[in-house]
Amino acid sequence: MTSPAALPVLGWKEHVLLPEWDLALRAKLDTGARSSALHVTEMTELGEHVDPSTGRTLPIVRFDVVLGTRKAPVHHEVEAPIVAHKRVRDTGARAENRPVVRTRILCGPLDVTADITLTDRTGMNFRMLLGRLTLERRCLVDPAHGYLLTAPPRRVRR
């Protein structure tokens, strides 16, 4: 096991990259949440595919990730296999059955392939939440500071 002193310290909010989906967004690092979650809209199950690593037949989901601002939203359509369904309680303690997808997450020195539940996070300040299953044994979270190890992606000026 890695010594806590050797783990990187991330802020309670950081910038993350989801390189397999070509997404860059802000995320809240929430040790009180068990699973990670991503705000999506227009979620549709398409068909099935066979996972080459396990041979399992998995359903495919297409969803829209909306980034940018309310005045200038930027839509990113993503397709990914559903690896499971998970019953999760939202912030209002309401149980919800969510599809789970798996992708690579980069956040400063954190580089992990993790499960993410897909849900509607309308009204939340962060479109992504990194839960403790994604963070445990990989980093420490400083609740007093944000953006300790990440900077926003560079914007191209036009």
Distance CA 40, CA 38 (A): 6
Q: How distant, in Å, are the alpha carbons of 33, 51, 69 from that of 30?
A: 6, 30, 23
Q: Which residue ranges form the domains of the chain, and what is each CATH number?
A: 11-140 (2.40.70.10)
- For the record, the structure tokens of 104 come out as 């690579």
**Chain centroid to CA 110:** 13
Contact (CB, 8 A) for 142 and 44: no
- pLDDT tens, residue order, the chain (158 aa): 667 778 999 999 999 999 999 999 999 999 999 999 999 999 999 988 887 778 888 899 999 999 988 899 999 999 999 999 999 887 778 888 999 999 999 999 999 999 999 999 988 999 999 999 999 999 999 999 999 999 877 655 55
Question: Taking the complete model, does pTM exceed 0.85, yes or no?
Answer: yes
Q: In what side-by-side order are the strands of the sheet with 41-50? A: 41-50, 57-68, 73-81
Cα-Cα end-to-end distance for the chain: 48
